[in-house]
Amino acid sequence: MSTDNFKRDLFEQFARLGKAMGNGHRLEILEFLAQCEYNVESLSRLSGLSVANTSQHLQQLRQAGLVKGRKEGLHVFYQLADPEVVELMTVLRRVAERNLAEVDRLVSSYLRVKDDLEPIPAEELLQRARDGLVTVLDVRPPEEYAAGHVPGAINISLAELEQLPPDTEREIVAYCRGPYCVLAYAAVERLRQRGLKARRLADGYPEWKDAGLPVEQKTED
């Protein structure tokens, strides 16, 4: 085999990942699986796709080595095949942010109008949480929180925010699935409407975990 053929064949294999990720629905599925493992039916519900369509997307991701599955009873549960898939998605996002004007337009028109304040970096949040200066809210679904969360974070849904006791002295920091997760934006917006000090975490739980920062898992009562 010539050097040219070797490189061409190698790049063709690399391109399989690009092809598998070249679909918005599959990127969204990867974001869900970066939180915790899910079966096809749950991913179908989360993504709004049919079960058949969701299954097809999962098979393409599996063939590209991006996800893997395990069988439990009648269900197959999927998870990321490699933790570095999170890093791959982060790089993809950053390149898009720097080079695609449409990304900036979408973020500005939909998210920055909800929150134009600088989000808190992960390392700063970790230190402030350890010092007892902030209340950390995880606004993801309970199953994602149970699989892993920022230490000390309280799991609370948007509907339950009104039950959160007001604390005008301590800042509240909300996070969810990633930097563009609308749940965190909505939580911060509602908390500020109540006159509370609130900010977002710069990224989400997958990025926090990928950075090697400490995580907790919910233990059975």
Positions annotated as catalytic residues are 176
- β strands within the chain, DSSP E: 38-39, 67-72, 75-80, 134-138, 154-155, 171-175, 198-200
The residue whose two tokens read 């739980």 is: 205
CB of 163 closer than 8 Å to CB of 194: no
Strands of 103-195 (E only): list them.
134-138, 154-155, 171-175
Which residue type sits at 194?
Answer: R
Furthest C-alpha separation in the chain? 69
Q: How far apart are CA 205 and CA 36, in angstroms?
A: 11
Distance CA 150, CA 204 (A): 10
What is the C-alpha separation between 207 and 175, in angstroms, rounded?
11
What angle (nearest 5°) sits at the alpha carbon of residue 172, between those of residues 168 and 177? 160
What sign has the CA pseudo-torsion 166, 172, 176, 178? positive
